[in-house]
Amino acid sequence: MKVAVIGAGIAGISCASKLQQAGYQVVLFDKARSVGGRMTSKRSTQGYMDFGAQYFTARHPLFQQQVASWQQHGVVSRWLAPLYQYEQARLLASPDAQQRYVGIPAMHSPLKWQARQLDCQLSCRITALKAKENTWQLIAESGEQFGPFDEVVLTLPPAQVNSLLPQTVTQRFPETILQPCWAVTLVLAKGTAHAAGGIFIKDAESPLSWVSRHNSKPGRAQTESWLLHFKPAFSALHLQQDQAFWQQTAEQTLSALLGQPLAVAEMISHRWLYAQIQTQHQDFHYEGVIAAGLWVAGDWTRGGRVENAWLSGIEIAQQIIVKQGASVCPSIG
Ligand code: FAD
Ligand code: NAI
């Protein structure tokens, strides 16, 4: 039984791994040069920098088991840095008891580790799906064709899912459910000595949604560097702005937040067109099957977040396994 999983983010990797363990022949496709999707970190002179997901929590027992296994293999660790909150123009410590995890040495590390046993076709953008005698054929941007596959799982943001669906499939998904985010990292020539590891921004006037200090995470370079995530509305308004705009905006905003001038040595930015789910869509739950042999998974089908992306991939794998009668797995609920 052959399955194609399109998208090598955490949803695609969890789905592909589960199916492979159950004896399926799985091929994982991604347009990017490496696996990770929105957990991908960028290489810099200061080692890897996390521009997408910053950390994750594990509330579901199945995901807790997976996280424990990643910890045993040294690719995930707890993140114990002090947390702060910025509200009504005040920056205050905001400690809590929540356990938070990061990849070691980068957010994508558990995915790279897991994908080493999978058949990955990277730098391979799929541009069309063709139904052929109860199977599916994949057509890549290069013109290359893959298949036939008995099952195809799409683990892409909804706009990218929609662009792949053949006209014979009428279903379309809400494209604005995932919002844009500009991410900017400032590497400092001189440290601020600020204790904050992460800062939740709760101030309506701030253009920011989240700030973190990279070097507060285990396994990172010790040079002080800060990551800023700009709010969806601010990011959308300035979607086309250049590096100079983001350097100036990030420097001014972080300097005001920390209450001191900054000596910036390097700025690296990344624009996410589809970043995180809109708050009002957190309860959106899509069940998964689009057409015969065609499935959809991904964070947005289950309320967003790394954990839900992982669970969505497992859930679709279980549905395929049950459908094919290979074994019966409990629903993850
Ligand atoms: P993705 O990771 O988006 O994977 C989809 C993959 O599909 C990508 O690798 C893409 O290259 C590939 N692809 C797309 N189109 C094609 C095509 N046509 N052909 C082949 N491949 C294709 N979550 C948390 O839990 N904690 C956080 O702190 C957090 N912060 C975040 C901050 C930002 C800025 C962003 C962007 C996200 C954040 N998230 C966070 C959300 C989290 O990153 C996502 O929920 C999760 O990584 C989504 O995984 P996924 O597998 O569903 O999708
Ligand atoms: P989590 O439990 O650490 O955070 C969830 C939310 O709770 C945070 O976004 C923050 O607003 C609040 N929060 C948690 N601890 C806090 C503290 N000590 N002080 C002040 N506020 C605190 O992690 P979870 O649930 O795994 O979320 C992970 C990521 O997903 C984060 O990036 C978070 O911002 C994001 N998220 C996005 C949502 C959205 O609708 N866009 C909704 C929930 C989380």
Instruction: Mark whether 201 and 159 lie in a shared domain.
Output: no
Quote the pLDDT of residue 331. 52
Residues of the domain holding 19: 2-40+109-176+281-323
Q: Which ligand is nearest to the CA of 139?
A: 1
Is there an atom of ligand 1 within 6 Å of 294 CB?
Answer: no
Query: Residue with the nearest Cα to atom 38 of ligand 1?
Result: 53
Residue 100, SS3 per DSSP: coil
Strand order in the sheet with 119-121: 119-121, 25-29, 2-6, 151-154, 294-296, 289-291
Residue 139 Cβ contacting ligand 1 at under 6 Å? no
Q: What's the pLDDT tens digit per position in 157-191? A: 999 999 999 999 999 999 999 999 999 999 999 99
Mutate to test the pocket of ligand 1, among 306, 310, 311 (most ligand atoms within 8 A of CB): 306
* Residue 119 shares a structural domain with residue 247: no
Report yes or no: 162 and 306 within 8 Å, Cβ to Cβ: no
Pocket probe mutation, ligand 2, options 50, 178, 229, 276, max atoms within 8 Å of Cβ: 276
Domain containing residue 304: CATH number? 3.50.50.60
**Helical ranges in the chain per DSSP H:** 10-21, 61-72, 109-115, 158-164, 232-237, 243-258, 306-324
**Cα–Cα distances in angstroms (integers) from residue 151 to residues 5, 68, 114, in the given order:** 9, 30, 21
pTM: 0.96
- Phi and psi, residue 241, nearest 5°: -65, 155
**Lookup: tokens for 229:** 């995530």
Structural domains of the chain, count: 2
Judge if 273 and 126 occupy the same domain: no
Burial of 193 (0-12, 13-18, 19+ CB in 10 A): exposed
User: Is residue 156 a contact partner of residue 194, using CB atoms and an 8 Å limit?
Assistant: no
Q: What is the pLDDT of residue 114?
A: 97
Q: How confident is the model at residue 326 (pLDDT cuts 50, 70, 90)?
A: low
Task: Assign 328 a pLDDT band (cuts: 50, 70, 90).
Answer: very low
Same domain, 28 and 128: yes
